[in-house]
Amino acid sequence: MCAGYYDAVADEGENALRLDGVGNLTTVEYVQVYKNANRGFRINGGDVGLKWVLSTNSQDVGFRLDDDIDDWQGTGQFWIINKDITADGAAIESRDGSNPILSNLTVTGIGLNSMGEAPDGVGIRIRNDGNGRIYNTVVTGVDKAVHTENAGSIASDDSFHRNSASFDNTANSGTGFNSSAREFNPTSGDYVANNNNSLTPFTIVHSYVDTSTTNSIAAGPLDAYFTDVNFVGAVDAANDWTDGWTVNLDGTLNTLFSNSFDISDFKVYPNPVVDILKIDSNAQISNVALYDATGKRVFENSSFDSGKNEINMSKFQKGLYFLQLFSNGSIAKTLKVIKR
């Protein structure tokens, strides 16, 4: 079993975590690759499964599935690939005979994670005789959400992108589907209806948190390896499996949703707020921090008065924020705040 995160600066051609011919009796869970100089994960051959894994800001491909030894025939669920940098490679690239089945992926690019930046990069790329059977996946903030160079695998139904969401991308009027993936694009005349994909946006906060049930399918019946959830995306807000052990895009520890205070201990108002956000607390609070929807810290006060205090949000952009209250150096409560 692998656990934790890898923070690597690799030479050209290296991978942060490489699995060669690994079988399905090996457990790979709760692994993060952070800011690797080349690829995040590389899986060659075998049929190992990976669950609850993240590739964050890898400069090249997040997950490369290919054939240095043999084609990978494994499974994957609850994958996150997120970037706030210009993308050199695809989030996921399947090639050389690999034939995985994947469900509940969240791919977010610079267009979502860096305010004011245009979508960039490729979400899912199938090439060089590769395959990929993909369900319950959201791709947003990239140029091409789905790009395939293996028309034969689509025709044989060895490759598909189903019950998934694509929005706020660049290609094909924002749908993100490259012309090579027109069978999966609901706006295309060649769309195959049983792919059941959605172009309906839903809110994703903190780079990858939240899901949608629009056009989703139950994962359990798809493969015995899968946890039986029925939503699109990798992280349900009610069960954030990344909390407390992963690092954010800026390298800080992700403790955004940890809570120990009772709601009766404090009052935050008005919410939504236009200018001054007031915080009244009966509990001992050491400091406060405010994060935008991408998880970037935009305000911090380390000399907080536990009686009454306030934050001037008049110059902040409109949108969703997260207010964290700290007690004795630990996260005590996280609240959503809307700035109007």
Whether residue 185 sits in one domain with residue 277: no
Whether residue 279 sits in one domain with residue 218: no
In a domain, 31, yes or no: yes
Question: What is residue 309's predicted lDDT score, i.e. its pLDDT?
Answer: 80
In a domain, 154, yes or no: yes
In a domain, 252, yes or no: no
What does the alpha-carbon distance between residue 238 and residue 220 come to, in Å, rounded to a whole number? 19
Average pLDDT, the chain: 88
1-10, 139-148, 313-322, 327-336: the lowest-pLDDT one:
1-10
Per-residue model confidence as pLDDT tens digits over 100-156: 999 999 999 999 998 889 999 999 999 988 999 999 999 999 999 999 998 888 988
In a domain, 228, yes or no: no
Whether residue 199 sits in one domain with residue 104: yes
Number of domains in the chain: 2
In a domain, 251, yes or no: no
Helix (H) or strand (E) holding 105: strand 101-108
pLDDT band at 3 (very low <50, low <70, confident <90, very high): very low
Q: Which domain holds residue 198?
A: 2-222
Whether residue 114 sits in one domain with residue 21: yes
The torsion defined by the Cα of 81, 84, 241 and 200, in degrees rounded to 10, comes to -70
What does the alpha-carbon distance between residue 86 and residue 56 come to, in Å, rounded to a whole number? 13
Q: Which residue in this structure is represented by tokens 């690994």? A: 22
Q: What percent of the chain has pLDDT over 70?
A: 90
Question: Which one-letter DSSP state was computed for residue 232?
Answer: B
| Coil, strand or helix at 297 | strand
In a domain, 250, yes or no: no
**Final residue of a structural domain among 191, 222, 253:** 222
Higher-confidence residue: 300 or 305? Answer: 300
CATH number of the domain residue 287 falls in = 2.60.40.3080
Per-residue model confidence as pLDDT tens digits over 241-289: 998 899 999 888 887 766 666 656 678 899 999 999 998 877 777 788 8
Q: Does residue 330 have a pLDDT over 70? A: no
Whether residue 332 sits in one domain with residue 195: no
In a domain, 211, yes or no: yes
Whether residue 273 sits in one domain with residue 128: no
